Amino acid sequence: MASEVAGTAVPQAPRQLLARGAHPVRAFVVRRVATGLLTLLVVSILIFFATNILPGNVAVVVLGKNATPEHVQRLDAALHINGSVVSRYFRWLGDALQGNFGRSAVAEAEGRSNSSVSGTIGDPLRNSFALAIITTLLLIPLTMVLGSLAGIRAGRRLDHAISLPALVLSGLPEFVTGTLLIYVFFNLLHWLPPVALLSPGESPLSNPEALVLPVLTLLAVAVGAGVRQVRAGMAEVLQQDYVQFARLNGISERKVLSRYALRNALAPSVQIIAQNLQYLVGGIIIVESVFAYPGIGTYLVNAVTSRDVIAVQAASVILAALYILINLLADLIVVFLVPKLRTGMS
């Protein structure tokens, strides 16, 4: 099967290139980026209208009992929420493209001096990135190594020792895993703090101990899901004809794995890693809440709780954009990694 594809793909590529005139990889990249941008546009429309469905006025909701008509009018003007929904969307989109997400309705109502969403969302974003990057740096090698090991030893004891915990952990919601981890590492062992609080402006790296449990919680779910997929891919590759053929040729098992199997199992793994990173975008919302970590997830949950629509819009668009971006990058990386795919792109 695989040798067939490889055999027919090579002579076809130049012919296709000549016939189409344009470079297929470049055409693919352009088309894929355009699709990504279009998706983001549609998503931004959905987010904006979803947060504007409620018949009530933002100002009235936020001001609550203090809502005199005069107050509401002043807040409306400060937040630029006059006019029709459509005209507001375009004004919001234009501002957002320049990095201005408007002002937090709650901060404005409370008369805080720093009410700009762009100003207050920076720190949470940075904290979340720190958490996500540390998690990713551990996630990728762990997923690949554990998944490959389980795949190579499919059906044996090592496979079961890896696959069973992976199956259990990948299914559990983050707040359950996080709670159980807090119980073990805080209540029973007294090793780690149960929360990852930061004072405003403090760097998340200044207190690495507090990050251990949030990172472990994210890893438990993401690695669990990834390992199962990498294992399946590896086990499949090892049954291909060319691997059997390499073995029959007397090539050492180590070389068979490193030169034939691993390389071909790598391409689908990029998609698996991308799915895991996409998972992190959503998973971080819950994990930050479990550990009271001041990131973008906590910011979003607080905004939803206080019905701060403008802050909800900003955080949602940023998270959705990251989600789409990860997907886009994964598609591009796969095409550059696996020349075979380029022929099937027309």
Partner 1 sequence: MSTVAIGPGSARPRRRPLRAVTSDWGGRIGLTLLILIVALAVLGPAFAPHSTTVPVGIPGEGSNGSAALGLDFLGRDVLSRVLSGGRSTLLLAAAATGLTYLVGITIGLVAGYVRSIADPLLMRTVDIFLSFPALLVMLLFVTAFGGGRGVLVGAAALVLFPGVARIVRTATLEVSTRGYVEAAIARGERTFAVLTREILPNILTPIIADLGIRFSWSIILIASVNYLGLGLKPPTADWGLMISENREIISTNPMALLAPALILAILIIAVNLTGDAYLRQRGRSGSGR
Counting contacts by CB under 8 A, is residue 289 touching partner 1? yes
**How far apart (Å, rounded) are the C-alpha atoms in residues 84 and 127?**
36
Q: Which C-beta is closer to partner 1: that of 36 or that of 204?
A: 36
Closest listed residue to residue 292, CA positions, set 197, 166, 228: 197
Tell me: does residue 197 bind partner 1 (CB under 8 A): no
* Beta-bridge partner residues of 116: 103
Stretch that binds partner 1, among 16-24, 78-86, 112-120, 164-172 (CB under 8 A): 164-172
**Which tokens in the block code for residue 177?**
């895993």
Tell me the closest approach of the beta carbon of residue 245 to partner 1, in angstroms. 27
Question: Does 310 engage in binding with partner 1 (CB under 8 A)?
Answer: no
Residue 314 touches partner 1, criterion: CB under 8 A = no
Question: Judged by CB under 8 A, which stretch of 103-111, 113-121, 145-153, 163-171 contacts partner 1?
Answer: 163-171
Write down the least CB distance from residue 297 to partner 1, Å: 9
198: left (phi over 0), alpha (psi -120 to 50) or beta: beta
Is 304 one of the binding residues for partner 1 (CB under 8 A)?
yes
Least Å distance, CB 257 to partner 1, is 27
Task: Select from 108, 123, 174, 331 the one that contacts partner 1 (CB under 8 A).
Answer: 174
Q: Does 88 bind partner 1 (CB under 8 A)?
A: no
Work out which of 20, 77, 155, 175 binds partner 1, going by CB under 8 A. 175
Q: Does 269 bind partner 1 (CB under 8 A)?
A: no
DSSP letter for each residue of 86-99: HHHHHHHHHHHHTT
Binding flags for partner 1, 32-71, as an x/- string (CB under 8 A): -------x--xx--xx--xx-xx-----------------
Asked whether the beta carbons of 230 and 148 are under 8 A apart, the reply is yes
Query: By CB under 8 A, is residue 332 in contact with partner 1?
Result: no
55: its two tokens: 């018949």
Q: Which residues contact 14 (CB under 8 A, 6 or more apart)?
A: none
Q: How far is residue 171's CA from residue 1's CA, in Å, rounded to a whole number?
A: 33
Given 152, 300, 310, 335, the residue binding partner 1 (CB under 8 A): 300
Q: Is the dihedral of CA 295, 296, 297, 303 positive or negative?
A: positive
CB of 292 to partner 1, least distance (A): 9
Could you tell me where the DSSP H helices lie in the chain?
2-20, 24-50, 58-63, 69-79, 85-97, 105-109, 117-152, 157-171, 174-182, 208-237, 241-248, 253-255, 262-290, 296-305, 309-337, 339-342
Q: Which stretch binds partner 1 (CB under 8 A): 71-79, 117-125, 130-138, 283-291?
A: 283-291
Q: What residue spans of 21-116 are helical by DSSP H? A: 24-50, 58-63, 69-79, 85-97, 105-109
Tokens representing residue 189 in the block = 């062992």
d(CA 313, CA 49): 10
**Size of residue set near partner 1 by CB under 8 A:** 44
Task: Assess 167 for contact with partner 1 (CB under 8 A).
Answer: yes
Exactly one of 14, 122, 141, 173 binds partner 1 (CB under 8 A); that residue is 173
Span near partner 1 by CB under 8 A; candidates 8-16, 20-28, 103-111, 309-317: 309-317
| Site residues for partner 1 per CB under 8 A | 39, 42-43, 46-47, 50-51, 53-54, 167-168, 171-176, 179-180, 182-183, 186-187, 194, 278, 281-283, 285-286, 289, 300-301, 304-305, 307, 309, 312, 316, 319-320, 323-324, 327
